[in-house]
């Protein structure tokens, strides 16, 4: 099973502030939905809570939350208290590509296990960013795909990038 990180980050790798995204970009949200649909998506508790209740659990995906708060299971997510047990559960369910969707602590904890990074580079700098995505080192990752689009609502330029772990 592949482990993939799915993230949108600004030009300084900022990904959030006050437990929220820094932007609302419909073009990126559509890409995220298309990319993750039909997959297991693993997120931390704060990411789960940042999703508006009317969109929780994310439809068409198996929602998995890394937390010790068992009450989240009542809201429609599978709950795990260890990263390895969540990965094993997705693998046992036949998942081909586990999508890790945040937040910063989970990205940091799973970065060394990831096979792919789907990065939306938001061509803006958000000084209020409080959390950041780890730096992608060219010695460890190879850029294998890139597509540039302008966000349909804001006009912000976005690069959709796929990095794969270097085999060397």
Tens-digit pLDDT profile for residues 104-113: 999 999 999 9
Over residues 32-43, the mean pLDDT reads 98
pLDDT score for 93: 98
Whether residue 65 is contained in a domain is answered as yes
Whether residue 9 is contained in a domain is answered as no
With a cut of 80, say whether residue 168 has pLDDT above it: no
CB distance 114 to 4 below 8 Å = yes
Whether residue 152 is contained in a domain is answered as no
Whether residue 112 is contained in a domain is answered as yes
- Residues 135-155: pLDDT tens digits? 999 999 999 999 999 999 999
Number of domains in the chain: 1
pTM score, whole prediction: 0.97
- Residues 41-78: pLDDT tens digits? 999 999 999 999 999 999 999 999 999 998 898 999 99
Whether residue 18 is contained in a domain is answered as no
Whether residue 160 is contained in a domain is answered as no
pLDDT score for 70: 87
Q: What is the CATH number of the domain that holds 54?
A: 3.40.430.10
Residue 56: domain span: 34-122+129-145
């Amino acid at each position: 099973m592949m482990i993939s990180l799915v993230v949108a980050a600004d030009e300084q790798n900022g990904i959030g502030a006050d437990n929220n995204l820094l932007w609302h970009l419909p073009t990126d949200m559509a890409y995220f939905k298309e990319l993750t649909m039909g997959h297991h998506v693993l997120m931390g508790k704060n990411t789960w809570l940042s999703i508006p209740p009317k969109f929780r659990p994310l439809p068409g995906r198996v929602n998995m939350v890394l937390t010790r708060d068992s009450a989240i299971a009542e809201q429609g997510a599978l709950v795990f208290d260890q990263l390895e047990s969540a990965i094993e559960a997705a693998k046992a369910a036949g998942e081909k590509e586990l999508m890790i969707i945040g937040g910063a602590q989970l990205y940091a904890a799973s970065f060394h296990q990831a096979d792919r990074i789907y990065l939306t580079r938001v061509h803006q700098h958000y000084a209020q960013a409080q959390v950041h995505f780890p730096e992608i080192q060219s010695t460890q990752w190879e850029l294998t795909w890139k597509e540039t689009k302008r966000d349909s609502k804001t006009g912000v330029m976005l690069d959709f990038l796929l990095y794969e772990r270097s085999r060397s």
